[in-house]
Amino acid sequence: MPRLDNLIASCSAYKPSKHTERQLISFTTHSSYKRCLRLLESRGIHPFKTMPGCKMIGFLLDRRSSWKNIIRHPDVKVMERDVKIRKHDTTPRITTRTIKPNLPIIKTTIDTNKVPWNIKRVQAPLAWKRTLGRPVKLAIIDTGIAKHPDLRIAGGVNTMGGLSYYDDNGHGTHVAGIAAGRGLTGLYGVAPNVKLYAVKALDRYGSGYVSDIVDAIEWCIRNKMNVINMSFGIVSGQHSDLLRQAIKRAAKQGIIISASAGNEGPNTTTIDEPASFPETIAVAATNRLNQIADYSNRGMGIDVAAPGTEILSTWLNGKYAIMSGTSMSSPHVAGGAALLLSVRPKLSSARVTTVFRKWSVPLNGYLPIAQGSGLLRLGRIGNLKS
């Protein structure tokens, strides 16, 4: 059989065109990965993504060429299309609400009258009697996180090729406020004192590719994140083995992953990837009346539900916005996982899921395919001992 690097080089394109397609190849060995990169470089072909940690390269391949020998090559572990990812939310409603600064950053006694309804609904203030989330590291893989008085960003990365991890869409900032709002201006998130990291893997339109998400997960593993939030899903119910493998690696390292179920509504029978993967905590959305939201996906694999409708949170330019979607539900669980891990740091991903399911309250009139075990409750964290 011809050498793999020669096969790939013969099918690779120098730039996108109507005949090219984004393809990802995971190699079985580091030597074959490095050999392929060397040959492509010698021919002036630049892959759009290289990830030595998981031996994966993203190529632009010409569809007019035959890929059969590449797919069948023993040095290829997985070859798949680099499919699209999109955020799980609705159009934001920017609010002119102003809140007077509440200094210091975290008060000894928190004024629960300034805590949003959704944060109260999951009983986060009861958990704060025991912990505010320190020193857990929470990564928001999203459109980035903007500077905001209610958010303290500990660090981050842009896996899309840019230098900045700051938000140019708003979605990631909104999600971050739900998980980790500090209460400086009165808007508290679930875990106000968690170490928050911005991992920008979605563009200004809230979309991206699996390759950027896998890159983001690898960054989280290398930088020892404890919790990851993923408020997005693969477009049109497509599947990615490479995304599944990355999430498996993260879970094996003890990282807790919360993922939104999707916004296609009650007539769906499946939830989106990555929420459908057993290594994640899949989250459905509820409203103020403790009903499952009309837009929330139904399907096997949902673990719990959390507020997702009409959620006020942080936005661009120091503002606030109201948004709805399972995107808004997932960070309640991510923040809750941070609170739990700050008290019980050795809990595994599977154990955290089990605990949250056990603590959840079933909602009347809904099957498990809509709500999992029910509405998330975090109040018991307040009584836990180290």
* Structure token digits, residue 370: 């809509």
Q: How many CA atoms are closer than 13 Å to the CA of 197, on its beta-carbon side?
A: 26
The candidate with the shortest Cα–Cα distance to 334, out of 259, 244, 269, is 259
What residues does 228 pair with on adjacent strands? 139, 257
Is residue 62 annotated as a catalytic residue, yes or no? no
Helical residues (DSSP H) of the chain, grouped into ranges: 4-11, 30-42, 68-72, 117-121, 124-127, 171-180, 210-222, 241-252, 326-343, 349-359, 368-371
The catalytic residue among 88, 171, 174, 332 is 171
CA 316, 318, 324, 326 dihedral sign is positive
The candidate with the shortest Cα–Cα distance to 216, out of 291, 330, 140, 309, is 140
Confirm if 4 and 77 have CB atoms less than 8 A apart.
no
* Structure token digits, residue 204: 């200004």
Q: Is 142 helix (H, G, I), strand (E, B) or coil?
A: strand
Is residue 276 annotated as a catalytic residue, yes or no? no
Pairing of strands 256-260, 281-286: parallel
Is residue 171 annotated as a catalytic residue, yes or no? yes
Burial grade of 101 (CB within 10 A; 0-12, 13-18, 19 or more): exposed
Torsion of CA 5, 11, 15, 18, to 10 degrees: -160
Confirm if 180 and 151 have CB atoms less than 8 A apart.
yes
The catalytic residue among 75, 82, 89, 142 is 142
Q: How many CA atoms are closer than 13 Å to the CA of 171, on its beta-carbon side?
A: 29
Pairing of strands 207-209, 84-87: antiparallel
The catalytic residue among 32, 260, 313, 327 is 327
Calculate the alpha carbon distances from 366 to 135, 288, 290, 291, 326 in Å.
37, 16, 11, 9, 17
- Read off the amino acid at residue 44: G
Measured CA to CA, the distance from residue 177 to residue 192 in angstroms comes to 9
What residues does 365 pair with on adjacent strands? none
Residues annotated as catalytic are 142, 171, 327
